[in-house]
Structure 1
Amino acid sequence: MTHMTDIKYGRVVHRREDFRLTQGKGFYATDVALDGMNRAVFVRSPHAHAQIRSVDTEAAKRADGVVAVFTVADLDADGVRDFSLPTKMQRPGGVEMHETPRPALVRDRVRFLGEPVAMVIARSLAQARDAAELVEVDYDELPAVATVSESVAPGAPVLWDVAPDNVAYYWSKGDAAEIEKALQASHHTARLTFVSSRVSAMPMEPRAAVGYVEKDNRPTLHVSYQSPHNLRDALASMFGMDKSALRVVATDVGGSFGMKSGLVREESLVFYAARKLKRPVKWVADRSEAFLSDEAARDIEIDAALGLDRRGHFTALRVSYRVNIGAYLSARSASPIGNFGGIAGVYRTPKIFGEATGIFTHTQPTAPYRGAGRPDATYAIERLIDVAAQEMNIDPFALRQRNLIPPEAMPYKTPFVFTYDCGDFAKGMERAAELADYQGFAARRKDAKRRGKLRGIGIANPIEVASGPFASPATDFAWVEAKADGTVRLRAGAMSVGQGLETSLSDIVAQRLNVPIDSIEYIYGDTDRVPRGKGNGGSAALTLGGSAISLGIDRLLEKGKELAANRLEAAVSDIEFADGRFRIAGTDRSLSLADVAALAGDEGLSGAGEFKMPQPTYPNGCHICEVEIDGDTGHVQVVNYVGVEDVGKVLHPAFVEGQIHGGVAQAMGQALQELIVHEAGSAQLLTGSFMDYAMPRAGDLPNFVCANVEVPTALNPLGVKGVGEAGTVGGLAATMNAICNALADTGVRHLDMPATPERVWRAIHGEAGGA
């Protein structure tokens, strides 16, 4: 595909949205204020597993200010369908397994702590909270399991009758027997069982929803959400409505990371209540509620083996997942599978087998979180390479170089799912080694030892599938209109959720039409004003959304040339567009963009674009992390971090660097501090606040050094590959490899995340709970 020639890359621009946001002028779902606003509060189960004998709402209904109290009986009476995120998986033996039934309010059996049992609507938040205390629920508490090991143990409580062994799905690719034979025949086989721990997205802005009925009797839901069109379609299905009969609006969003992209119970119930009562209803999760109700992420047990020949060339790879999917199965539970192909890495491994088993537990369902299976896949192969390097006494950097796919092999079809269109992996490694001063590490390690510290270095070569899971890209939409007053209106399916897209997408329009960026009105997140679109996710905003905008501009310019040719009495083929003017080639006769927009009249000078790539792009890179550990306290300090990325053509380098910083910060949080913990036997949440769930702070993070190695893709007109999830994909493996490298001198072979001071100290001193 031919790349845009009227786009300048590598530009330094200021984020146009920053002034508005930093001045407190952003508009979030929580800022929606309507006359007669009612507040919603949910009655949640205090048990992770229980049979509901009865629900008595009479006292709550009589409380001051209460407008209504709803249970599942009300939903059933009104014909509301069960919450649905369709999926089609298979259990062992090929038995089909579909999404498990999930009513918006629990029908008869609670399956995780905090499940909503009733909904109270009152005139004020305080009144709603008081009334919620009056709802009497008679529970018969049952045994609960919180981990994969507990769930598959003999005699474990069964979550669903259709899965008596608590296995939700089984997926595999490759020939297991052939791979095991290749591993047995290898000169050396590195084996490791390890985990990608359970975490929560915890965006700065918690989930929120405001439902109301407009003057035309159409219900509207204003949400903190990243894919409003998907939510509209899901609500239409749930309530048996035509999509055009409702509206979903998402304006500024204070972080989402994948968690705010599925059909979720609370938002759908706010919609139900507002529609039924014909009153505005507002719900905002507090942080404690978020810990109970937000979908969790990761939580994968990984068992892997890598075979090597005498010279250190990879011969075979096997990776087995046991995924804790929580209490319900849905399409969102499958994100580890959708991006499982990343275990192939950037290496010439001739034979690969991968399998994933999804396990039900009495915990919140798991769902995509920044990277959505990509960080786990990269962690699987990259951690295993370091183990092999240590066991074979080969430098881990050299071992990776020895097995890289060369650029001349592109396009390269891996033995496991993915086909890479382009890339120069060696170039990225060389640049990262230079910036990290890899050759000088031995001296720094020696100096640290002299000071009584443990120094370690970790490498990871991440590669991720962007723009769609299961190697199947989605479609995005844009519509661009030039107006007679010189302004331009951009309606984009790609929506900004804090990463600077308001500027990036507008800059594409500004450059191609030669108009000031401030003259562009960026419209997004409103299903009435933008007819369709992907929203945000999968590192696809520029690959799909930006490309759709470019196609829309192409069509706008085609129309403009026809109008200009007619006015200038010239052939359309003689009209060119440059510097914001339609001109007869070789003459000074021209019309401005605004002039031609005026000629268009009521029809308007506009163009719509829709774009889908024939296959995904594959952003890749090399990350090198360096840590220092205090053996007396177990404290890990990240002293240096280098992230080199190939995200294709780079439109705005500062924005790319910001995405890398943010992604790595979240990866370091998982590697060093964050962990959701449930009590054994009851599945009670033990990390239900920031007192126990440790989020990284600015002081915990190092100075980041970032660079780009540009290998443009031909799969889209902008030549971009995507960047939103790159930092988490590389950061997790690089950080954990650095920690384990530092601990190697103490005899520790591996340490599972998070590497908290206590865990590190115990590992160094050989105590249980460490290595």
Structure 2
Amino acid sequence: MPDGSGRPVRRVEDSRLLTGKGRYTADLSPSGLLHAVMLRSPYAHADITRIDVSAARGLPGVIAVYSEADLAADNLPSLPGGVEIPGRDGQPGPKHGRPALARGRVRFVGEAVAMIVAETRAAGLEAAEAIEVDYAPRDAVTSAAAALALSAPLVWDDVGDNTGFLWARGDKAVVATAMAGAAHVARARIVISRVTANTMEPRVALGQVDPDGRMRITAAHQSPHQLRNALANNIFKVTPEDIHVTIGEVGGSFGMKSGLHLEVVLCGWAAKKLNRPVRWVSDRTEGFLTDEQARDIVVNVALALDAGGKFLALDVHYDANIGAFLSGRSPSMVGNAGGLAGVYLLPAIAAEIRGVFSHTMPTAAYRGAGRPEATYVLERIIDIAARETGWDPFELRRQNLIPPEAMPYKTALTFTYDCGEFEGNMILAAEIADLAGYAARRAESESRGKLRGLGLCNCIEVAGGPFVRPASDMAQLTLAEDGVLTLVSGSMSVGQGLETTMPQLVSERFGIPLESIRYKFGDTDNLPAGKGNGGSGALCIGGAAVSITMDALITKLQNIAAELLEAAPGDIELTNGEFRISGTDRTVNLAEVARRAPSPDELTETGKFTPTAVTFPNGTHVAEVEIDPETGVTELVRYAAVEELGRILNPQVVAGQIHGGVVQGVGQALGEVILHDPESGQLLTASFMDYQMPRADEMPDFVLATRSVPTKVNPLGAKGVGEAGTVGALGAAMNAICDALAPLGISHFDMPATPGRVWEAIQAAPGRKPG
């Protein structure tokens, strides 16, 4: 029986992964394996005046010790730096490359200074202790505000104000005029905390030399072809075909395992140099120090309304702490700033985003990559405006929605929505969240001395298409003589269930069970190009490539079947794994077609899909929290979400993606935060003892519903789902927390809502009852 579209098929990969049979990069032990260890800077900002590795090189089990001088001797270039965003004066912004090992100066705690390659990891760690490094410490800045202050220490000597980029869109004059004539202007300063991905599997890199002499890279990475191309074009200056990248199981990524990481470069370089496999495995402390971090934005926002509650204009300024180095992945909030328009009729918007250097780990994409931030800023200022003007938050939002008949709708910023029925999301969310019963639930909480709050968040995000550059994916489908189909996909699974959902497309179209489909991914030798994973595009782009490939292969197979059945190809239909002459019982199955094919070329097809536009998943989230004013403990007690995702292939996988996304958004609202000592730049949250991760027992049962307004952007009508939960959760959770605190006279509260911070806010609240 086919396991096709719309069926909640259980993930076929789960039995393997949940029983410990998955094969991750750290599980690989090729013959002659060497272990790499990085010596990292203990200073946030310092000059390196001397490095002496001689004692380390003489220790037992040590094969090599490298510093930046060794990389320079081999002309190994820095990782590319800079972005294509001009500065305030219109001139190109700074483009400092990031050396794989620090060159003369360190700029954040944890920056790699030397690499040890040894027979065992223990020998490498001992050698790291023997390396002598003299530092001349300098003053450091760890926040955007500190970096922008007059006379602040400079991260880069040639960037006098620590500004890495400045992006602006919209007409400031039009917005200012609207603000001046508005009946009410709501204003707020909003802090979005810095977080880190904390994937289940840490980062890993393994460099080898293939029998044909090519460099082979295996890594915990989400985009094998992108990694191959970056290594070939930017570092080793060879053709992409000269590098072989293979990716197996990946235990989560969330954007952090994309791009080009220095450990991958160093392991590949050392493997070629030593002609032995070299592997580096991050430990958890290293992960907190050196995994790319995210968010960390201070926002000033103003929303203008007329006397009837109609939105007139929005003015937004971001100061984003981008860390010490700027790469093409740093300004993720820029590519998704269009989300500031939300799902509303907002005629005038001015947005400015300033990227600010600091002496911290660089930031990059993290689940949502700018969409949760933009959504939260807009939805928070709407709640503030509602409270200040006496509007019901639900009705204020509802009356400003973009109606379906306005589609396609060009917003006042960068997006043009192709479709959407946003009021339907709100109506369904109100039903499944039981908004009608909220007053009673709040009264019951108050009877127990608790503060209860409700938070709404309408969300829309960009997904599955070309963001700042074209996107495409490839697929290959091959029929074997036993009737088994092998699907090779350029999309990369990092835990979201593609091993199930991609074959489901094939199962539905060919009418065969999943057991008759083999799925392969992660090897750059299998396809000339591939998207990998990112931007919630696996189904929208990768699935569309599979669909196109199936069409082409079925045409080939129909022609073969037509000859075997002595019929015209147009009279042949494919049903339940058999080709049939329409209106008859004459059939031939897939295996027979394969055996009778005139050549192997007739049994394989490769396809490519390049979308011309993005999709816009959207929805409405509703959160309820309860706060104990005596302890400051905040509990998420109810959560409901409606997601409009276009065509849904596997409802069970979709629910899992939304669950995970919501938990990550709520986790940031309630506790997750990266903190640095403002003087020394030392990381204060370098372990799970200090970094508060969300836990399963802290989450209520989620009530989820989906709606479908198919897009025409791709042949499947699908919209991305991988980041949707996070996009709506941050705003819903924070609005609920602020609503609970509002009766005490607290107009706004910044994340994270840890017990200590909430308790302190309650103690300082103007409306707190004595005692």
Taking structure 1 as the reference length, the TM-score comes to: 0.97
Aligned-partner residue type, residue 372 of structure 1: A
631-640 vs 597-606, which deviates more? Answer: 597-606
Residues 666 and 320 of structure 1: is their aligned pair in 2 closer, same or farther, counting only changes over 3 Å?
same
Aligned-partner residue type, residue 147 of structure 1: S
Match of 2:126 in 1: 130
Match of 2:35 in 1: 39
142-151 vs 87-96, which deviates more? Answer: 87-96
1:181 aligns with 2:177: yes
563-572 vs 477-486, which deviates more? Answer: 563-572
Of the three residues 206, 213, 225, the one matched with 2:209 is 213
Secondary structure in 1 matching 2:187: strand
Of the three residues 130, 134, 137, the one matched with 1:141 is 137
Q: How far apart, CA to CA, are the structure 2 residues paired with 1:322 and 1:86?
A: 17
Match of 2:665 in 1: 667
Q: How far apart, CA to CA, are the structure 1 residues paired with 2:499 and 2:84?
A: 36
Match of 1:504 in 2: 501
Q: How far apart, CA to CA, are the structure 2 residues paired with 1:226 and 1:144?
A: 33
Q: How far apart, CA to CA, are the structure 2 residues paired with 1:86 and 1:518?
A: 47
Q: How far apart, CA to CA, are the structure 1 residues paired with 2:244 and 2:6?
A: 38
1:79 aligns with 2:105: no
Match of 2:111 in 1: 115
1:338 aligns with 2:335: yes
| Structure-to-structure mapping, 1:256-655, within 5 angstroms | 256-468=253-465, 470=467, 474-600=471-597, 601-655=599-653
Cα contact 1:614–1:715 (8 A) shared by 2: yes
1:590-609 per-residue CA deviation (whole Å, 9 max, x = no partner) reads 32122222233332412212
Cα distance, 1:569 vs structure 2: 3.2
707-716 vs 738-747, which deviates more? Answer: 707-716
Match of 1:718 in 2: 716
Residues 34 and 534 of structure 1: is their aligned pair in 2 closer, same or farther, counting only changes over 3 Å?
same
Cα distance, 1:161 vs structure 2: 2.9
Q: How far apart, CA to CA, are the structure 1 residues paired with 2:341 and 2:409?
A: 11
Secondary structure in 1 matching 2:85: strand
Aligned-partner residue type, residue 110 of structure 1: V
Cα contact 1:228–1:526 (8 A) shared by 2: yes
Cα distance, 1:393 vs structure 2: 0.7
Q: How far apart, CA to CA, are the structure 1 residues paired with 2:274 and 2:4?
A: 53
Aligned-partner residue type, residue 666 of structure 1: Q
Residues 469 and 380 of structure 1: is their aligned pair in 2 closer, same or farther, counting only changes over 3 Å?
farther
User: What runs of 5+ residues in structure 1 fail to find an aligned partner?
Assistant: 1-5
Cα contact 2:25–2:219 (8 A) shared by 1: yes
Cα distance, 1:738 vs structure 2: 0.1
Match of 1:162 in 2: 158
Of the three residues 147, 152, 155, the one matched with 1:151 is 147
Cα distance, 1:212 vs structure 2: 1.2
1:345-401 per-residue CA deviation (whole Å, 9 max, x = no partner) reads 000011111110000000011000000000000001000000000000111001000
Aligned-partner residue type, residue 508 of structure 1: L
Q: How far apart, CA to CA, are the structure 2 residues paired with 1:540 and 1:341?
A: 18
Cα contact 1:343–1:380 (8 A) shared by 2: yes
Cα distance, 1:330 vs structure 2: 1.1
Cα contact 2:82–2:96 (8 A) shared by 1: no
1:611-647 per-residue CA deviation (whole Å, 9 max, x = no partner) reads 1222100000000000111011111011100010001
Q: How far apart, CA to CA, are the structure 1 residues paired with 2:683 and 2:445?
A: 39
Of the three residues 672, 693, 696, the one matched with 2:694 is 696
Cα contact 2:3–2:514 (8 A) shared by 1: no
Aligned-partner residue type, residue 185 of structure 1: G
Q: How far apart, CA to CA, are the structure 1 residues paired with 2:428 and 2:566?
A: 55
| Structure-to-structure mapping, 1:86-97, within 5 angstroms | 87-97=83-93
Q: How far apart, CA to CA, are the structure 1 residues paired with 2:344 and 2:4?
A: 33
User: What runs of 5+ residues in structure 2 fail to find an aligned partner?
Assistant: none
Cα contact 2:80–2:97 (8 A) shared by 1: yes
Q: How far apart, CA to CA, are the structure 2 residues paired with 1:25 and 1:631?
A: 47
Q: How far apart, CA to CA, are the structure 2 residues paired with 1:576 and 1:655?
A: 30
Match of 1:3 in 2: none
Secondary structure in 1 matching 2:48: strand
Match of 1:755 in 2: 753
Q: How far apart, CA to CA, are the structure 2 residues paired with 1:377 and 1:147?
A: 20
Q: How far apart, CA to CA, are the structure 2 residues paired with 1:717 and 1:454?
A: 48
Match of 1:195 in 2: 191
Secondary structure in 1 matching 2:313: strand
Of the three residues 42, 46, 51, the one matched with 2:47 is 51
| Structure-to-structure mapping, 1:59-70, within 5 angstroms | 59-70=55-66
Q: How far apart, CA to CA, are the structure 1 residues paired with 2:583 and 2:174?
A: 67
Q: How far apart, CA to CA, are the structure 1 residues paired with 2:573 and 2:539?
A: 26
Secondary structure in 1 matching 2:93: strand
Cα distance, 1:292 vs structure 2: 0.9
Q: How far apart, CA to CA, are the structure 2 residues paired with 1:269 and 1:676?
A: 27
Match of 2:677 in 1: 679
Q: How far apart, CA to CA, are the structure 1 residues paired with 2:4 and 2:211?
A: 46
Cα distance, 1:275 vs structure 2: 1.1
Of the three residues 13, 23, 26, the one matched with 2:22 is 26
Q: How far apart, CA to CA, are the structure 2 residues paired with 1:530 and 1:42?
A: 33
Residues 643 and 473 of structure 1: is their aligned pair in 2 closer, same or farther, counting only changes over 3 Å?
farther
